[in-house]
Amino acid sequence: MYQSYYSLNKAPFSISTDPGCFYLSEPHQEALQHLMYGIHQGGFVLLTGEVGTGKTTLARYLLTQLEAQMAVVMVQEPLTAPDKVFDILNRALGVSEPEKPDAHFTVLHQYLLGNIQAGKQTVLVIDEAQHLSFAVLEQLRLLTNLEIENQKLVQILLVGQPELQSLLQQPELRQLSQRITARYHLSSLTRDDAEAYIRFRLQVAGNLQPIFTSKAIDVVYRMSRGTPRLMNLICERALLGAYSAGEPRVSAATAVQAAYEITGKQDSGSTGALVAYLCALLLMFTAGWFSWQQWGIKPVPEVKKVEVPVVLPPDKTAVASFEQAIGHARDESAAMSMLLAAWGYDTDTPENLCDELSGVNLKCYRTGEEAKKIIALNYPVVIRLFDKQVGSWYAVLSSIEQDHATLIFDNKEWQVATTWLKSHWQKGGTLIWSLPQTGHSLINRRSPVDDVRWLEASLGDALGILPRAPLYRFDTVLEENLKKYQQREGLTPDGIAGEQTLLRLSQQRNVSQPRLNGESPARIQDEPSEKDKADGV
């Protein structure tokens, strides 16, 4: 109906499970790495999350990544009767019916053994596992006892709602719980991930234009609380509503109506809050007018000051300049443009800068970690500063030393004391890092040879290991070296080079990249004036 109107080749927000429409947000990437690690270790792997967070879709995507080297299957039939467990698993795996009715376990054992001898492990994915009984879970535990030469014949991924975690904490299941090699609880999307998710789904459906306005996305995120399934339902209804009204883009008002039709709840963020704000404004105006009428007194606006953290004693000019710059630094996208300029690229960039970086083999990394952990990455980073008097603003932390740091905002450099920086920035930031030459942000056993060789060379530089003959596959030696490096860097030693591992390797290997402890290869186009430099600001 609306697809041709918005140049879409399919419904972008279908709630059916489609790995091709799967958006790998930061939580989903991290979950995927944990699951990969656990499956290669053997035993049980646990994935939990609230309804609609994308657990089943993630599990199906995982199957597509594993199917080349493993026999993987998602068990669709409910496992309700303990005496039928092995019968159901055989049907899911396509194992032929045994001649004797009670020989299902024996036939399954032979099938699993045959897979191992053929060089393939078997992975079973069991969805909605929170409904499994103690007896069924015990049958599954017995199945993971099967092994040959210390190698498990089967790995089992349990996928379920948060109640599954409580279930596995019961004393009756302590043996099973001890065999879980990896577990991950999938959280909802952040506001930034929600916007990227909506754009991604539209791009997969064939439209590269921003159909949803920024305020409409705010509504969708607020009313769905970042739950992908609810976002799909609201966005689908919003597209239909915008099409019916002949709107070229989905407005906030249309999104509010769509959210109400889906959830039955009014968006207090767009209506109630506005009414409250207007009432407060009217009350302030009335109080001021009454005071002026009675006593000739007009309300005096509060004067807000921020302590200027300059290295040299500040004068009035420096204070005024600093406060004025804060007022011009409320936009995060402007700070992101200045961050890209520190990498030597043009600052004239769109709002969705992170979506455009793949063309120059760069990638954004958004993190909510503490400041000291972000500083340890040694990359310039966009940070959000906060002062209780003036609110928040955005700046690029371009360098830091023991007693002072350099911030860039409002196209000027400011020297600040590190003590002041720590009191105004506690955690969170966005940095840019350089991808391997292939442009991939994940390297594992299924990666192409160019990625494997890049990883081998990078680990050699980082660990001081002599180069070997050219590699053609991700071998055991490479995996062990990777784990050793991850352990040294305080990362999970899972033998999978994900985003956090690669950005550290890239920074340590590429000397031309801008760093917090050194000079950037490029400066912003609008240099600070000589007067600003003389003021020490």
pLDDT for the residue numbered 486: 92
Least confident of 80-94, 95-109, 198-212: 95-109
Distances (CA, A) of 535 to 18, 24, 406, 411: 58, 46, 14, 16
Does residue 169 register a pLDDT over 80? Answer: yes
pLDDT for the residue numbered 536: 37
Does residue 184 register a pLDDT over 50? Answer: yes
Whether the full predicted model's pTM is greater than 0.85, yes or no, is no
Does residue 501 register a pLDDT over 80? Answer: yes
Buried b (16+ CB within 10 A) or exposed e, 164-196: beebbeeeebeebbeebbbbbbbbbbbebbbbb
Sheet holding 404-409, edge to edge: 362-370, 427-434, 381-387, 391-400, 404-409, 412-417
Domain map of the chain by residue range? Answer: 26-186, 191-263, 271-301, 316-341+361-435+521-534, 449-497
Q: Mean of the per-residue pLDDT values for the chain?
A: 80
CATH superfamily of 316-341+361-435+521-534: Cysteine proteinases (3.90.70.10)
CA atoms of 512 and 524, how far apart (whole Å):
17
CA atoms of 510 and 522, how far apart (whole Å):
15
Query: Where do we find the tokens 């915008």?
Result: 242
CA atoms of 134 and 167, how far apart (whole Å):
9
User: Taking Cα atoms as reference points, which of 229, 175, 247, 311 lies closest to residue 18?
Assistant: 229
Q: Are strands 180-186 and 404-409 parallel, antiparallel or unpaired?
A: unpaired
Cα angle for residues 527, 531, 534 (degrees, 5° grid): 105
SS3 (DSSP) at 358: helix
225: left (phi over 0), alpha (psi -120 to 50) or beta: left
CA atoms of 424 and 88, how far apart (whole Å):
58
Segment (H or E) for 400: strand 391-400
The 10s digit of each residue's pLDDT in 397-438 is 999 988 889 999 988 888 888 888 988 998 889 999 888 888
pLDDT for the residue numbered 407: 92
The set of residues, in sequence order, having a beta carbon less than 8 Å from that of 196 and lying 6+ positions away, is 23, 25, 354, 355
> Which residues are bridge partners to 183 per DSSP?
46
Higher-confidence position of 68 and 104: 104
Does residue 87 register a pLDDT over 70? Answer: yes
The set of residues, in sequence order, having a beta carbon less than 8 Å from that of 490 and lying 6+ positions away, is none
SS3 (DSSP) at 498: coil
Cβ proximity of 514 and 342 under 8 Å: yes
> Which residues are bridge partners to 391 per DSSP?
387
> Which residues are bridge partners to 180 per DSSP?
44
> Could you tell me which CATH class the domain 26-186 is placed in?
alpha beta
Assess whether the region 26-186 and the region 316-341+361-435+521-534 belong to the same CATH fold.
Answer: no
Does residue 380 register a pLDDT over 90? Answer: yes
Mean pLDDT of all residues in 71-99: 84
Does residue 101 register a pLDDT over 80? Answer: no
**Identity of residue 349:** T
| CB neighbours of residue 303 within 10 Å | 6
Contacts for 527-532: CB closer than 8 Å, 24+ residues apart: 528/411, 528/412, 528/413, 529/412, 532/321, 532/412, 532/413
Query: Where do we find the tokens 């990455």?
Result: 377
